[in-house]
C-alpha cells in the first residue's frame, strides 16, 4: 500500500490516490469522499436533469466571422459555456493526447509516484486540492503542468512514460494556445471592441499564462454520494476542456440555476469563461459554476487547458465597458493577488470569512480591499476556492 501514499512533500496528511481507493474500497466509499446532502449530484438521465437542454454548440469554421463572434458572445453572456466544433485542432491530436495521458494513469503506481506533487506549486501528480487537514476530498486524481510563460515550462516535470506523452502534450499545448487566441478575438469583437483588445489586457500574445490539468476519475461504487470535482468557477481567463469521448460527467449551472448535464459532441472543445474575463468584461461574460460527476462502471479522463492573463498585470473592467450607468463592478487586482486570495479562501467554514477579512485588512489599496469585500458578499465569482489553486 505504501505506493498509494505520499505523506511527504508538504501535505498535512498522507495523500491517498483515488485510483487505489477505487481498487480497494469494495462497495462503500470512504467517508472523506461523501458530500453533504445538498451537494450530492442527481444522476438521472440527462433528460431529467436540466430538462434535456445542452450548452450552445458553435461551429468555429463558419466563414462569417461577425456571425461567429455574435454566437460566441451570446453563449458567453448567457451560459458562460459553449462547445466549439470544427475548431481547427486535429482530431488525431486530441485523441493522441487523451490516449497518452490515459497511458500515464495506467502506469504502475511506483511510476506515477515519481511525479507526486506538493502544495507549493501543485505541479505533478496529485489527488487533492487545498491543504486543510481532514478537509473534504473529491473522487479524482490529476496531473498539473505549466505551458506558459515558457520560463515555467519544464519537460522534466512531465511524465516520461508513455514515450509519446511529452511530444504530444507539447504539440497539443501549442495548438490549443492558437485556438484560445482566436476565441479571444471573437470574444473581444463580441463586446464591440477591437479584436485584439482583450488579448492586450492579458499581456498580449506571448505574455499570457497557460497550464494544463489532466483529470482522471476512477470508477466509483457510489457515484450518487460524491463528485469528481465539486462545484467551482475557474479563476483564470478561459478554459478549453477536452472531455472523454464516451463517458459524461460535466454539469454546468444553467441560466435558471439548474444543473445541466453536458452532452459532449465528439472531438469538440468545451469552452468556458473564467473569473478574469468576467472582471475584464465588467460581468458581460459570465464565469459559471460547474462540477463533475463520476461513474460506477467507467473511468473518465478530461484535459483542462487554462488560459490566463499575465499574472502581474492589473485586471479590472476595461475602460470602454465602464461609463455613466455602467459602473466598474470590480476594482483592480492582479491574477497573482487573486490567487493569494483564493488560497486563503480554500480554508473551510468560518475560517474562509476570517481569511477574507484578513486579506481585506492587508490589501494594498482601497480598491483591492473593496474587491475582497465584494467577493465575500457575492458567491458567484468564486464558487469553490480550494479547487482554484491548481488552476493558477
Q: What torsion do the CA atoms of 188, 189, 191, 193 make, to the nearest 10 degrees?
A: 80
Residue 38's Cβ-count burial label (10 Å; 0-12, 13-18, 19+) is exposed
Q: What are phi and psi of 347, to 5 degrees?
A: -70, 165
Comparison of 5 and 307: residue with beta carbon closer to ligand AKG = 307
Query: CB under 6 A: which stretch of 11-19, 64-72, 242-250, 274-282 binds ligand AKG?
Result: 242-250
> Does residue number 29 form part of the binding site for ligand AKG (CB under 6 A)?
no
Burial code (b: 16+ CB inside 10 Å, e: under 16) for 91-100 equals: eeebebbbeb
Could you give the CA distance from residue 264 to residue 308 in angstroms, rounded to a whole number? 24
> Does residue number 250 form part of the binding site for ligand AKG (CB under 6 A)?
yes
Cell of 320: 470602454
Comparison of 192 and 266: residue with beta carbon closer to ligand AKG = 266
Out of 54, 168, 295, 302, the only residue in the binding site for ligand AKG (CB under 6 A) is 302
Comparison of 137 and 292: residue with beta carbon closer to ligand AKG = 292
Burial code (b: 16+ CB inside 10 Å, e: under 16) for 195-222 equals: bebbbbbbbeeeebbbbbbbbbbbbbeb
Out of 197, 213, 253, 343, the only residue in the binding site for ligand AKG (CB under 6 A) is 213
Burial code (b: 16+ CB inside 10 Å, e: under 16) for 115-126 equals: bbbbbeebbbbb
> Does residue number 292 form part of the binding site for ligand AKG (CB under 6 A)?
yes
Comparison of 5 and 82: residue with beta carbon closer to ligand AKG = 82
Decide the pairing of beta strands 238-242 and 141-148.
Answer: unpaired
Comparison of 201 and 292: residue with beta carbon closer to ligand AKG = 292
> Does residue number 229 form part of the binding site for ligand AKG (CB under 6 A)?
yes
Out of 148, 241, 260, 382, the only residue in the binding site for ligand AKG (CB under 6 A) is 241
Residue 45's Cβ-count burial label (10 Å; 0-12, 13-18, 19+) is exposed
> Does residue number 290 form part of the binding site for ligand AKG (CB under 6 A)?
yes
> Does residue number 304 form part of the binding site for ligand AKG (CB under 6 A)?
yes
Comparison of 309 and 317: residue with beta carbon closer to ligand AKG = 309
Residue nearest to ligand AKG as judged by C-beta position: 302
- Other C-beta atoms lying within 10 Å of the C-beta of residue 79: 22
Out of 54, 169, 215, 282, the only residue in the binding site for ligand AKG (CB under 6 A) is 215
8 A C-beta contact, residue 326 and residue 346? no
Minimum Å distance from CB 87 to ligand AKG? Answer: 17
Residues that bind ligand AKG (CB under 6 A): 213, 215, 229, 234, 241, 243, 249-250, 290, 292, 302, 304
Amino acid at each position: 500500500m505504501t505506493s498509494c501514499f505520499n505523506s511527504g512533500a508538504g501535505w498535512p496528511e498522507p495523500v491517498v490516490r483515488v485510483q487505489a481507493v477505487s481498487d480497494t474500497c469494495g462497495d462503500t466509499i470512504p467517508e472523506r469522499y461523501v458530500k453533504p446532502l445538498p451537494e450530492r449530484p442527481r444522476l438521472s438521465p440527462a433528460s431529467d436533469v436540466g430538462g434535456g437542454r445542452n450548452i450552445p454548440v458553435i461551429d468555429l469554421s463558419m466563414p462569417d466571422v461577425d456571425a461567429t463572434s455574435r454566437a460566441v458572445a451570446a453563449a458567453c453572456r448567457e451560459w458562460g459555456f459553449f462547445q466549439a466544433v470544427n475548431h481547427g485542432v486535429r482530431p488525431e491530436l486530441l485523441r493522441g493526447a487523451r490516449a497518452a495521458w490515459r497511458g500515464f494513469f495506467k502506469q504502475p503506481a511506483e511510476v506515477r509516484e515519481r511525479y507526486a506533487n506538493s502544495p507549493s506549486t501543485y505541479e505533478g501528480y496529485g489527488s487533492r486540492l487545498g491543504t486543510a487537514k481532514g478537509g473534504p476530498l473529491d473522487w479524482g486524481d490529476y496531473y498539473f503542468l505549466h505551458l506558459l510563460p515558457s520560463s515555467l515550462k519544464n519537460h522534466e516535470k512531465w511524465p516520461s512514460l508513455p514515450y509519446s506523452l511529452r511530444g504530444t502534450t507539447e504539440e497539443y499545448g501549442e495548438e490549443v494556445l492558437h485556438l484560445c487566441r482566436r476565441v479571444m478575438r471573437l470574444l473581444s469583437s463580441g463586446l464591440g471592441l477591437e479584436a485584439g483588445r482583450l488579448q492586450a489586457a492579458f499581456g498580449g500574445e506571448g505574455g499570457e499564462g497557460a497550464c494544463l490539468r489532466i483529470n482522471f476519475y476512477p470508477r466509483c461504487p457510489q457515484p450518487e454520494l460524491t463528485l469528481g470535482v465539486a462545484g467551482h468557477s475557474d479563476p483564470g481567463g478561459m478554459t478549453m476542456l477536452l472531455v472523454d469521448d464516451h463517458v459524461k460527467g460535466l454539469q454546468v449551472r444553467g441560466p435558471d440555476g439548474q444543473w445541466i448535464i453536458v452532452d459532449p459532441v465528439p472531438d469538440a472543445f468545451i469552452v468556458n469563461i473564467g473569473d478574469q474575463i468576467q472582471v475584464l468584461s465588467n460581468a458581460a461574460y459570465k464565469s459559471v459554476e460547474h462540477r463533475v460527476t463520476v461513474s460506477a462502471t467507467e473511468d473518465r479522463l478530461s484535459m483542462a487547458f487554462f488560459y490566463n492573463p499575465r499574472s502581474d498585470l492589473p485586471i479590472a473592467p476595461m475602460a470602454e465597458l465602464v461609463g455613466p450607468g455602467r459602473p466598474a463592478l470590480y476594482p483592480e487586482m492582479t491574477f497573482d493577488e487573486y490567487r493569494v486570495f483564493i488560497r486563503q479562501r480554500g480554508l473551510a467554514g468560518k475560517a474562509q470569512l476570517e481569511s477574507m477579512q484578513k486579506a481585506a485588512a492587508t490589501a494594498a489599496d482601497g480598491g483591492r480591499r473593496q474587491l475582497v469585500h465584494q467577493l465575500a458578499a457575492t458567491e458567484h465569482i468564486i464558487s469553490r476556492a480550494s479547487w482554484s489553486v491548481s488552476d493558477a
